[in-house]
Structures are given as structure tokens and as C-alpha cells.
Chain A
Amino acid sequence: MMRRIISILMENEPGALSRVVGLFSQRGYNIETLTVAPTEDETLSRLTMTTTGDDKKIEQITKHLNKLIEVVKLVDLTEGAHIEREIMLMKVKATGAQRAEVKRTVDIFRGQIVDVTSTVYTVQLTGTTDKLEAFINAIGETQVLEVVRSGVSGISRGEKVLSL
């Protein structure tokens, strides 16, 4: 079972997203993260999802995605060199001695504190899924009040592009 990042270029039309998501539930595939937004060409959306499966399952997933009429192109980013990023916003308890400790940890992970109250820091952190998880571990679960993660976005390295 391998984790895969599938990146899809699709028509920016109502209902297109529901077809992609529906395909996964109807065929018993798993979606771990999902992000979608329009691209520089407003008629196209870029959807990135992470899923797990063996080669056979991933082959079926990509074939079925390609069959969806609104899917224009797709790529399994994990097949080649790629960059992946996820953004996380997190509220952590920051009182007393912890205030400095949290700040230090945020600095180590090259995050930013984007909002402050007398008891709470709101932290913004960008990186791979592994890095975000390492940060959550480092900060200690008891400190965490709320976590919002964007899901993975990805792009291939080098000159290769996913476009029309």
C-alpha cells in the first residue's frame, strides 16, 4: 500500500467535483485529503487528492477518473520527482512558561504566529504532511486547541507541467 498524490485538471463546472468524490465512494476507494481551486485559466480547476492503494488499485482509480467527462488530464505525482505542500493553521494554548516554549518550537519549524491573545497563539505552518505531523508531536497534544489543514497540494519538479 503506497500513498499517492493524484493531481487532476478538470472543467471548472458545477457538479464536476461531486463526480470525482462520488467515484471514490461508489467504487470503495479512499480519499485522505482533497483540495480544489480554479487555475490561471478560469475554465479549469486543479484538484489534488491523496489516497492509498497498491498498483492495481491506483491503476483502476486513474482509469476511472480519466473516464469522467469533466476530467481533462491527470497525473500521479508520486510517480516522479515532485513538491508537495500542505498549510496548517493551529490554535495552541500559550500561557506562562509555555508561551516562550511554543514560540521556540514554531521558529524551529519555520512557522509563523499569525494571531495572538493573552492565552492563545494562532500558528501558521507550511510543509509536507510529515513535517506538519512532526510539529503536532513536538508541540504536544495537550497544548492544541484547534487544527485546520488544507490538504496536500502538489506540483511536479522541473519543466514538466500539467496543462492543456
Chain B
Amino acid sequence: MLSGAEMVVRALQDEGVEYIFGYPGGAVLHIYDALFQQDKVNHILVRHEQAATHAADGYARSTGKPGVVLVTSGPGATNAITGIATAFMDSIPMVVLSGQVRSDWIGDDAFQETDMVGLSRPIVKHSFMVRDPRQIPEMIKKAFYIASTGRPGPVLVDIPKDHTAPHNTFPYEYPKKVKMRSYAPVTRGHSGQIRKAVDELLKAKRPVIYSGGGVVQGDASEALTAVARKLNFPVTNTLMGLGAFPGTDKQFLGMLGMHGTYEANMSMHNADVILAAGARLDDRVTNDAKKFCPGAKIIHIDIDPASISKNVAAHIPIVGPVKQVLEEMLTMLEESGEPDHKSVDRWWQEIEGWRKVHGMRFETNEQGPMKPQQVVQALYKATNGEAYVSSDVGQHQMFAAQYYLYDRPRQWINSGGLGTMGFGLPAAMGVQFAHPEAVVACVTGEGSIQMNIQELSTCLQYGLPIKIININNQALGMVRQWQDMQYGGRHSQSYMESLPDFVKLAESYGHVGMKVEKFEDLDGAMEEAFALKDRLVFMDIYVDPTEHVYPMHIADGSMRDMWLSKTERT
């Protein structure tokens, strides 16, 4: 016989949860007491509930397992909203347990009451409110099942305090399986559609494989790589899909989209067949959807039918798990014999021509300040390209996407859909918990890092040796770039006076701080920082505040309309 609170904790144990990220408060005290009396589920105490959700998210992105969060009612729950929305936009499996005021007080504006089910409704895959403690095991089972199957996403379980009271106990049984008549995620793509797609791929003269976050989340990288190699097709990844195909592979064109490479965007625009795998053709990729890839037949694989033909109509839609669909494609390709690689020779020659134009370049200045791109290149070198890299949001995020070549899926952790500043550090914590031996770097800026800087305290408490690469341009770089390009250089509120001394700040939190101002010190400083294997090092690196991210799509144009530098455009 267990109380509601004990059932919550037992259910987490039975679900195999290693870590739960949270922050206590009145409505969840019974659950915290039950957590205290066991040692299977490790609770990680963050300093702000937003960080709990991002840490759980980082854990989920880097492992594929659902991240778990526990917050109290009212402000605890509302603070979690940004992190839930972040996970929702990027389809990250997450289970959020929120406390609620006792059930007979709901609706009375009780202390720390907020309608969390209502507030979170548009940003969760599903939500439950416990109406009877006996529902707890099954609801938690369903929450994990829904969060981690089909198109993954966050699921909320709202638990009124009285349903966790220690004096009410009930028999406990954790369901082995759940079946829901109204939820049956698709497990196979339609073979006829896959066959049609294969025929189209074999006829293609100017093909591109365009893969997104679904390939990473759907563990389909191997299958994608095998299909690409078999056909000798060029591959481009979205911001969310980086690492799904090896970044150092010669078939890789780099990232596509708003800040994609010249060759990736040109190849897309001129393609005759596009295989879109686990990508959702969103506005950061397509530019003006009406002008998107005018000559291309689009094969679109996605587990979510609502993603298909939402922004751009697909010629061959395939609804299914991207891994299974790609594997079936591979089997069909193998049965059809050796594909004629020569048929795409001319296409590759054209692509090599674009590669020579090379949009991925930046001017360095021996006398002037360091360039942010150089920082990412130095990070790549210092970590042999093997680190987990989490990032915040802004210019540094784009540089980290462009100049760090990710060879593994789940190596690159960033908030692509929602674009959440403050994501980087707590996400890195989640990654480090999941991979205690791995090198974890957080690429951030002086704007983003201050949105969750308090987590330096959490990092000390748990001894997380994250390396923070603060690309400090003393400005909200991406905002400033848009103001330079579209608002006549009027820098409205995009720079910050009174920045803290980040070195002292890191030290006051008990960490190592380093300041780097000259390029010639950069490599040495990186080596020194990464040699401190069991310490968090905060590297405050000063860079050129006037630098822009290029290439950049010209608004309302097609894929091929890009700025390549401040003065050159296509």
C-alpha cells in the first residue's frame, strides 16, 4: 500500500528514470518527502524551474530517453513553461510533473494556484490532471508512452496536493503496457509510397537529401547515411539535423536555410528531386515557400502527417517512422542492383563549382579583434570535433552550427524551433549528467548566458565540468545584425552596458574563469581550459562586435537568394 506521493516515485523507478530535474515547493512537498526516502531516482536541484526543463531536455536530446521534471504549483509551473515550449517545438520527449493546490481548492484562486493544464495546453503533446490517487500509476505510464512514441513531445501530469497525502494509501501496480484506443502512432510507412519514392530517386539527375531533427530523434542516422552512400547523393542537414549525416563527409553540403551554406542552398534550389527526411520545411529553411525549389519533386518522410504538405506540398508523402522508411528504401535499392553513380556525376561537378564560391568564409584582421568564427574553429580543434556542444540562441549559435562539424547524431544540442535564449547552460547540464565522462561545451554569448546564469551554482553542487565558451561581442549580435541590415544601423536596445566581470562571476560561483582578448592566446587558453577535466571553466572571449553571420537568405526570396558578405549577394 502506497500513498500518492510514493506511487509517483515508484512509478518513476519502474520507468527506469535516473534523473529528475526540479525545485521543491508547497504543493509537491509530499512527493519530495517520498523522493528523500529512496535512492534510485536522483533528484537534481536547479536554481530556476526553466533550467529544470532545459536540463531534462538536454538529457533527452543527448540520450533519446525522456527527460523528467518536477515543479511545484503556481510560479514553479509557470517558470517551466518556456522549457516545455522549447521541447514541444523541437519534438523532445519529456514528462513534466507539476504540483497543484488541493483538489477542493481548485478554482478558488488559492495560494500558488494556476491552471497549469490550461496554460500549457498549446505547448504539450498531451496533459493529465490526477483526479484520484489510484490513477497515478497508469497516468504516469501513459505520460511516458505518449511522450516517447510517435512524434515525441512533452507531456504534463498535474497532481493536486491532497492526492499525494501520506495518510491515504492504495495498492500499487505499475502497468506493463498501455493501450489507448485514441492513440496509435504509425509504425510503418506505406510500401507502395516508398517504392514510388525509390523509383523517383533512381531517376533523379539533380537530387538532394535534406534531413532534419526527425532523423536525429528517430535514430535514423545510420539508415540515412547508408541510403546517401548507396546513391552517392549530396546531403544537407537542417539546424536540428546536424550530426545526422557526418559533418566531415565529402557528400555533406553543410547546413541549409537562412544561414545555410551557398552550396547547400544552391543545390536545393536547382534540384530535380528532394528527399526530405524528418524535416518540416519550416520558414527558416524555405525562405519564401512559394519560390521554394521550383523544379523539384518532393519526397517527404515524416512521422507526423500534419507536417507533410503544411508549408510546401509534397509530391510523394510518406507517413512513418523515418528509420523504418529509410531502411525499407535501402532494401529496395539493394534489390534493384547497383545504382548508376555516373548519372549524378554532372550534378556533383556543378555542386563542386558552387563549393568553390564558398559562402562559408570570413575576413580576419591581424590587428583587429578576434572573429567569433575563429573561436568556434578553435573549440573544434581543442575538442577534436568530439565534444557535445550545446548552444544558446543568436549569432554564436549559427557560428557553432556552421564551423563545428558534427559527425555524430545527438552531439549538437540547440533550441531550433523556439529559439530560446538561456537554453545552453542548463541543457549542457542535462547532457553532462547523461554522459559524465564526455566533454561538454556550451557555446553562448553574453546576452544568452545571463538568462540562466544562476545555474553556475547547480554546476558547482553536482561538480559538472562544463566548458562555457562565452562569445562576448558586447551586443545582442543577431538583433544588431538585423538592425544593421534592415533598420539603417539603428541599434535599438541591442547592446549591454554594465556587463559583469564574468571571470570574477565564475570564481564567485566556485568555478574557473578565463578572459581571452587576443587571437594568439585563443588556442592556448582552450587547451588550458579543456585540460581542467573536473572543473567548470567559464571562458569569456572577446570578439568583433561588428561581425555578421553569412550566408543569409534575402527575405521573401527563394533558396538561392543570399547575402554572402556585407557587400556581396547572389
Kindly identify which residue among A60, A69, A71 contacts B310, using a CB–CB cutoff of 8 Å: A60
Say if the beta carbon of B118 comes within 8 Å of chain A.
yes
Interface segment out of the listed B175-183, B230-238, B399-407, B474-482:
B175-183
In the bound assembly, the distance between CA atoms of A10 and B181 in angstroms comes to: 10
Min CB distance, B184 to chain A, in Å?
10
A75 to B131, CA, bound (A): 31
Chain A residue nearest to B313 (CB atoms) is: A56
List, in ascending order, chain A residues with CB within 8 A of B306's CB: 60, 63-64, 67
Interface check B325, CB cutoff 8 A: no
Q: A66-B305, A69-B183 are in contact. List 18 more A-B contacts (CB 8 A).
A: A11-B182, A15-B127, A18-B121, A19-B121, A22-B121, A22-B122, A26-B122, A56-B309, A59-B309, A60-B306, A67-B306, A69-B126, A69-B146, A69-B180, A70-B182, A71-B182, A72-B181, A72-B182
Q: Say which size band chain B's interface belongs to.
A: 10 to 19
Taking CB atoms, residues of chain B closer than 8 Å to A70 are 182
Whether, in the assembled complex, B439 has its beta carbon less than 8 Å from a beta carbon of chain A, the answer is no
A contacts with B: majority SS: helix
Which residue of chain A is the closest to B181 with respect to CB atoms? A72
Q: Which residues of B contact A72 (CB under 8 A)?
A: 181-182
Name B90-124 residues within 8 Å CB distance of A.
117-118, 121-122
Whether the Cβ atoms of A15 and B305 lie closer than 8 Å is no
Tell me if B138 counts as interface (CB < 8 A to partner A): no
Per-residue CB contact flags for chain A residues 93-130 toward chain B (1 = under 8 Å, else 0) read: 00000000000000000000000000000000000000
In the complex, which residues of chain A have a beta carbon less than 8 angstroms from the beta carbon of B180? Answer: 69
**B182–A10 contact, CB under 8 A?**
yes
Question: A10-63: which have CB < 8 Å to B?
Answer: 10-11, 14-15, 18-19, 22, 26, 56, 59-60, 63
Question: Would you list the 3 A-B pairs with minimal beta carbon distance, nearest first?
Answer: A63-B306, A72-B182, A69-B126
| Chain A contacts for B146, CB-based, 8 A | 69
B194 CB, min distance to chain A CBs, angstroms = 20
- The answer to the question of B304 belonging to the interface, with a C-beta cut-off of 8 Å to chain A, is yes
* A81 close to chain B: CB less than 8 A: no
Let me know if B129 is at the binding interface, CB within 8 A. Answer: yes
Q: Find chain A residues with CB under 8 A from B181 CB.
A: 72, 164
Q: Which of B126, B182, B306 has the most A CB atoms < 10 Å from its CB?
A: B182
CB distance from A121 to the nearest CB of B (A): 40
Report the interface size class on chain A: 20 to 34
Which residue of chain A lies nearest to B131 when distances are taken between CB atoms in the complex? A14
Contact with A along B465-493 (1 / 0, CB 8 A): 00000000000000000000000000000
Contact among B118, B131, B183, B309 with A18 in the assembled complex (CB-CB below 8 Å): B118
Q: Report how far A67 CA is from B180 CA in the complex, Å.
A: 13
Between A and B, 5 residue pairs with Cβ closer than 8 Å are: A18-B121, A63-B305, A67-B304, A69-B125, A69-B182
Question: Cβ of B126: which chain A residues have Cβ within 8 Å of it?
Answer: 69
Considering the complex, which residues of chain B in the window 179-206 have a beta carbon less than 8 Å from any beta carbon of chain A? 180-183
- CA of A123 to CA of B131 in the docked complex: distance in angstroms? 43
Interface-centre pick from A18, A59, A69, A164 (highest chain B CB count, 10 A)? A69
The answer to whether A15 touches B182 (Cβ under 8 A) is no
Q: Which residues of A contact B304 (CB under 8 A)?
A: 67
Cα(A11)–Cα(B126), bound, Å: 13
Interchain nearest-CB distance for A107 vs B (Å):
46
Chain A residue nearest to B319 (CB atoms) is A63
Q: How far is the CB of A55 from chain B (nearest CB, A)?
A: 10
